[in-house]
Structure 1
Amino acid sequence: MPVVVALGAFLMTLFGGWVAGRVVDRRHLVLGLAGGLMLGVIGLDLLPEALEAAGEEVFGVPAALLLFVAGFLAAHAVERMLALRRAAHGASPDERTPQVGLTAAAAMIGHSAMDGIAIGLAFQVGGGMAVAVAVAVIAHDFADGFNTYTITSLYGNTRRRALLMLGAAALAPVAGAASTLLFTLPEQLLGIYLGFFAGVLLYLATSDILPEAHHEHPARSTLLCTLLGAAFIWLVIGVAE
């Protein structure tokens, strides 16, 4: 079942790359909705489940919350390292380095694989968690596909290379979900992982998805889509319970 759900992420990633090749004006609404879905999953489902599963405290702080902060900082550190590398390799649009685009795209592929693992591990927790995480991951993978294609081509790579990286990013969540069929995490470790994953998702939502959604179109409709995304997750959780 996790692999079947991950196929939704596969299709959404390809769809995001397809849109990137055409750059439609309503992209901000889709990203706004994706940001709302991610925030809803983080605050209403992932963190409560992580706190319950992880259990123990470390120096007075729940282990899940420590990993939540660690996940946020890890995602921030990776993005900063990529930004420094981009700056070191080309300061102007005329001096773009294809390898930088490929490196950034490879990082997106690794993240997509973790998305698939998150879906698989969520199924180990229960159906409600699986549905909520799957919705967030599938919505987020639109942005993954869009960004993978864009950043690969932005740095001077050919369209063929951009499509190859897009294809790898689309297959990554399926492979990640399939890998979880081979192992089962203890409840405590699962809670710790979910806390870490929630931190990563929060960073992506607040530093990438939502700022991009509001950058060129700071419209009320974009904010409304974000609110609807969070409300939808609330509805999903309520129905699942």
Structure 2
Amino acid sequence: MAVFVALGAFLMTLAGGWTAQRVTDRRHLVLGLAGGLMLGVVGLDLLPEALEAAGREIHGVPAAFLLFVAGFLLAHLVERLLAGRRAAHGGAEHDHHRAPEVGLTAAAAMVGHSAMDGVAIGASFQVGGGMGTAVALAVIAHDFADGFNTFTLASLYGNARRKAYAMLFADAVAPVAGAAAASFVHIPTSVLGGYLGLFGGVLLYLAAAEILPEAHHAHPARSTLLCTVAGVLFIWLVVGAMA
């Protein structure tokens, strides 16, 4: 049953990616919405879950927060290293030294997050049908944002469209694989919480340092800001439905 329900997440992820690639003539609005969705996912979904799951503190600070900061710094370090290497090899100035590897790495992190969504579906169905249905509906709605962000991240950094499609398909398959794996593999709660904290830091860096500035660079319009707010509100509604 969990795998069957996860197929809905598969379709919703593809729908999110399809929407992202269809509105290229309004790229600033797409990026503004993606930034809002990512901000909402981090602040309203990932961090609360990470804090609850990771539990313990390290030198007076919750482990999830330490990994969140580490994820932010890691994303910054990796991007600077890759961008510097690309510039040293004659990267074009108009690319702002963006390294395609950063986009693929971020999209791969989204795939990992989607796999964890699938694990959540599988685990919730082990608790009971009502719990499984509630979690599944929330994940399905959430995976529209995941598909949207995965395609946007991969394509924003200059990757070929086929690579963006490949990452989108992997993100769509991930919840199904996660739901199936949940029947055989148990992931320690503390490990899952640490992963969510680290991933949240990476995602926040990309939203705040890359996607939102790019959205307002050429089109500093009020509509772009409204799309960002709408993205945050959408995630709030989804998270509220899970509660």
Q: How does the TM-score come out when normalised to structure 1?
A: 0.76
Asked whether the equivalents of residues 19 and 148 of structure 2 are also in contact (C-alpha less than 8 Å), the reply is yes
Cα distance in 2, alignment partners of residues 167 and 81 from structure 1: 26
Give a deviation string over 1:114-153, Cα, whole Å, max 9, x none. Answer: 2432432443477677666665553354354245346556
Give 3-state SS (helix, strand or coil) of 1:184's partner.
coil
Per the alignment, do residues 57 and 41 of structure 1 end up closer, same or farther by CA in structure 2, a change over 3 Å counting? same
SS at match of 2:187: coil
Give the 3 Å change call, closer, same or farther, for CA 130–41 of structure 1 in structure 2: farther
Answer yes or no: is 1:145 the counterpart of 2:151: yes
Normalization by structure 2: what TM-score? 0.75
Q: Cα–Cα, structure 1 residues 70 and 176, in superposed 2: closer, same or farther, change >3 Å?
A: farther
Distance 1:204 1:130, change over 3 A: farther
Structure 1 counterpart of 2:51: 51
> Residue 41 of structure 1: CA displacement?
2.0
Match for residue 13 of structure 2 among 5, 9, 13 = 9
User: Considering only aligned residues, what root-mean-square deviation do their CA atoms show, in Å?
Assistant: 3.0
Alignment of 1:31-180 (within 5 A): 31-92=31-92, 103=101, 106-107=104-105, 110-123=108-121, 124=123, 135=141, 138-139=144-145, 141-146=147-152, 148-149=154-155, 151-152=157-158, 162-180=160-178
1:171–1:132 Cα change, 3 Å: same
Deviations 1:5-51 (A, max 9, x none): 134323433554455xxx41x22112212211221221122211211
The residue aligned with 2:127 is none
Identity of aligned residues (%): 48
1:229/1:107 CA distance change after superposition, 3 Å: closer
- Aligned match of 1:29: 29
Mark the CA change 1:130 to 1:43 in structure 2 (over 3 Å): closer, same or farther: farther
Note if 1:237 corresponds to 2:239.
yes
| Gapped regions of structure 2 (runs ≥ 5) | 125-130
1:212 aligns with 2:214: yes
Q: Is the 8 A contact 2:71 2:199 kept in 1?
A: yes
Counterpart contact for 1:121–1:190, Cα < 8 Å:
no
Whole-angstrom distance in 1 between the partners of 2:140 and 2:202: 16
Displacement of 1:211 in angstroms is 1.2
Q: Secondary structure at the match of 2:40?
A: helix
Which letter maps to 1:110?
A: A
Residues of 2 paired with 1:237 and 1:109: CA distance? 22
Alignment coverage as a number of residue pairs: 223
Unaligned regions of 5+ residues in structure 1, if any?
95-99, 154-161
- In structure 1, distance between residues paired with 2:8 and 2:222: 36
Equivalent position amino acid for 2:43 in 1: G
CA apart distance, 1:171: 2.0
Which residue of 1 is the match for residue 191 of structure 2? 189
